[in-house]
Amino acid sequence: MKLILKFTLLFLLISLGVFFVGGLITYQVVKQEIDEEQERFLLERLDFFSRWIERHSPTKPFIRDKIQVYPLESGIETDIIFSDTLVMHSTLERLETHIKLDVTKSINDRLYKISLFDLIVEEDDIADSVRESMIKIYLLLTGAMLLVGGLAGAVLFKPFNKTLAKIKSFRVDQKEPLTFSKTGTEEFNKLNTFLEEMTGKIQQDYRSLREFAENASHEMQTPLTNAIGKLELLLANGSLNPEDNDRVIATLSSLKHLSKLGQSLNLLTKIDNREFHNIEKINFTDKLAQALDNFKELMDLKSISIEQQHQDKVMVNMDPTLTTILINNLLSNAIRHNHEHGFIKTFLDDKRLIITNSGPALDVDPNTLFDRFRKDRQKSEGLGLGLAIVKKICDYSGFRVAYNYQQEQHSLEIQFNI
């Protein structure tokens, strides 16, 4: 629910309470005011009739509509008493509640009992009118609030929505810093300034990290090239004795291993840094066929047979570079952990890719297979990063990867849509 709508509803809910209490107060005030007015009115009439009695000094009871005057032989003066009573209304011809004023007072040395009536404004009527006006005002308020809410959403919250849209499209590796235009609202300005600073800092940190990863790779590869070169010069002379020769060869292979390790870790860092963001529709069938073609010769060397079952034109959303790395890693793995005259089966449809290969059982826990540097002891040549890279690419691209071993068959399944 939108904030502005929530706010409006909350406001209306509270207003409902206020209106209820307000209605009660209004009712009380109006009723009291009316009562006072009626009493004042009756008192004025009493004055008026008192003067009339003074002038005429009636000796007989005088009874008219809303007034009764009885001359009394004896008695005492009383205070003015107000009460409610039912009186036949002359024009409406039914009993109606009236306010009644009773007094016994002496005028021209004669006692008169005077009763004055007036049609009362009924409590029900007051309550009805108060209720009606409150409901009407409340409805008016609701309408106004919804209107204000809509306008506020469209106008007041416009800069906020703009900010949201900008944050949404923000990529940490974009070159331009995130900037917001000035708004007329202090809170939004504060928010925007804060976001500008924060995203700026993030971009800077990201750049440093990325530079570090690249520099680390650079700083490592150049001396390695140097070392490899020197050893190759040593070999090229052909003057080494066989033992030294073996040592040089072993050193060369270690250096090569180190270099690849650096490159693979660098790749993992790059994926972590989300540097591969050219997500596009990839024809996975083509890519896989191409990779299989590239690996064909290596499979032949090991006399590995290949069985393919590919659906045509399987389109997958991912980065093209990562696609190539993923497929190459999977196929490399399937060839490397295979035996001579083994087989590889590839299955591809628009939901999954399954690569199955023959090969001896692993002596590591399958659950830790995707961890870094987790590898089979028998095959110490590998880096132990191949499957970690596969897992990372799958996570990054939103795929799920699972490993299964059954009857001397390793199978890796990648589900594209999860």
Partner 1 sequence: MKVLLVEDHIELAQNMHTYLSKEGYVCEVSASTEQAMSKLGGFDYDLLVLDLMLPDGNGLDILRWVKQTNTKMGVLILSAKNSLQDKIEGLELGADDYLPKPFHFAELNARLKAIFRRRQLQGSNVILCEDIQIDTEKHEVMVNQQLLDLTRKEYELLLYFIVNKNRVLTKQSIAEHLWGDYIDALDSFDFVYQHIKNLRKKITEAGGKDAITTMYGSGYKFISTQ
Chain residues in the site for partner 1 (CB under 8 A): 214, 217-226, 228-230, 232-233, 235-236, 238, 240, 242, 245-246, 248-249, 252-253, 255-256, 259-260, 263, 266, 294-295, 297-298, 301, 321, 328-329, 331-333, 335-336, 379, 381-382, 386
Compare residues 203 and 357 and give the one whose CB is closer to partner 1.
Answer: 357
Compare residues 331 and 414 and give the one whose CB is closer to partner 1.
Answer: 331
DSSP state letters, 108-123: TTEEEEEEEEEEPPPH
Q: Which amino acid is at 226?
A: N
Q: How far is the CB of 237 from partner 1 (least distance, A)?
A: 8
Length of the chain in terms of residues written? 418
Q: How far is the CB of 151 from partner 1 (least distance, A)?
A: 49
Q: How far is the CB of 181 from partner 1 (least distance, A)?
A: 32
Compare residues 107 and 331 and give the one whose CB is closer to partner 1.
Answer: 331
Q: How far is the CB of 411 from partner 1 (least distance, A)?
A: 18
Q: Helix, strand, or coil here: 308?
A: strand
DSSP state letters, 357-413: EE-PPPSS-GGGTTSTT---TT-TTS-S-HHHHHHHHHHHHT-EEEEEEETTEEEEE
Compare residues 31 and 336 and give the one whose CB is closer to partner 1.
Answer: 336
Q: How far is the CB of 361 from partner 1 (least distance, A)?
A: 17
Sign of CA dihedral 22, 23, 24, 30: positive
Triad 412, 414, 418: Cα angle to 5°: 145
**Residue 59: DSSP 8-state:** -
Q: How far is the CB of 372 from partner 1 (least distance, A)?
A: 16
Q: How far is the CB of 329 from partner 1 (least distance, A)?
A: 8
Strands of the 305-310 sheet, one edge to the other: 305-310, 343-348, 352-358, 409-415, 400-406
Compare residues 167 and 298 and give the one whose CB is closer to partner 1.
Answer: 298
Rounded Cα–Cα distance for residues 67 and 80 (Å): 15
Compare residues 97 and 221 and give the one whose CB is closer to partner 1.
Answer: 221
Compare residues 98 and 270 and give the one whose CB is closer to partner 1.
Answer: 270
Start-to-end CA distance of the chain, whole Å, equals: 28
Cβ-count burial of 17 within 10 angstroms (0-12 exposed, 13-18 middle, 19+ buried)? exposed
E strand or H helix that includes residue 344: strand 343-348
Q: How far is the CB of 376 from partner 1 (least distance, A)?
A: 11
Sign of CA dihedral 418, 292, 273, 193: negative
Compare residues 189 and 328 and give the one whose CB is closer to partner 1.
Answer: 328
**Are 181 and 196 a contacting pair, CB within 8 Å?**
no
Compare residues 65 and 232 and give the one whose CB is closer to partner 1.
Answer: 232
Q: How far is the CB of 405 from partner 1 (least distance, A)?
A: 19
